[in-house]
Amino acid sequence: MRGLEEILVPSPAVGEGLVWPALFGREAPVEMEIGSGKGGFLLRQARAHPERDYFGLEWANKYFRFAADRMARWGVTNVRLMRADARHLMLHHVPVDSLSALHIYHPDPWPKKRHHKRRLFQPDFVAAAIAALRPGARWAIQTDHAEYAEAIRDVTADRPELEPIDYDDPEYGTVDERTETNFETKYLREGRAIYRMAYRRRG
């Protein structure tokens, strides 16, 4: 079983950018999932695409540790996990033009109006995320919260760098509009509506 020290990576220091080849030990396309939860999506994709590298961010410590243990048990070599604030990391540490895909499934909706400022999808985050994507890279987003879905569309749909594309893409883990994350499975079982959108960064 791979050691957790290979999978878990510390947050970068102030002013320090992430260097993907240093983290993964090779040059390869990098996909990021923000809110990787128990790691089901990352594990499935990492096993299906050993030629790609996968970087997961998760703030909830119990899910973060569960996902790391899961990756170690399966012995995947192309996943790294970090416990860090996604907005801060994207704004200050993720290199520009470095991601081949960005996955954000069921971000915290912070439903109370007074908490909306805590939401991940703010104009500065969206601008930084677009900058981090390579030309042609895919950005897939999913939420079960209708009002947040509209807010996400409002802050992404008018960006000239983003071209709306089909949500389904088996190469990136979505078949019949299913990504099969834990939250998606749970919410569909409860009968909730799921709101999905996907973009490609224009070259």
Which class would CATH give 4-201?
alpha beta
Looking at residue 191, its pLDDT comes to 75
Task: Report which residue type is found at 68.
Answer: A
Residue 202: per-residue pLDDT: 96
pLDDT of residue 193: 85
Tell me whether strands 53-57 and 30-34 are parallel, antiparallel or unpaired. Answer: parallel
The pTM of the full predicted model, rounded to 2 decimals, is: 0.93
- What's the pLDDT at 2? 53
Can you give the pLDDT at residue 25? Answer: 95
Question: Partners of 57 in the beta sheet?
Answer: 34, 82
Q: Provide φ and ψ at 43, rounded to 5°.
A: -65, -45
pLDDT beneath 50: ranges in the chain? 1
User: What is the pLDDT at residue 1?
Assistant: 44
Q: Which residues are catalytic?
A: 108
DSSP string, 38-107: TSHHHHHHHHH-TTSEEEEE---HHHHHHHHHHHHHHT-SSEEEE-S-HHHHHHHTSPTT-EEEEEEES-
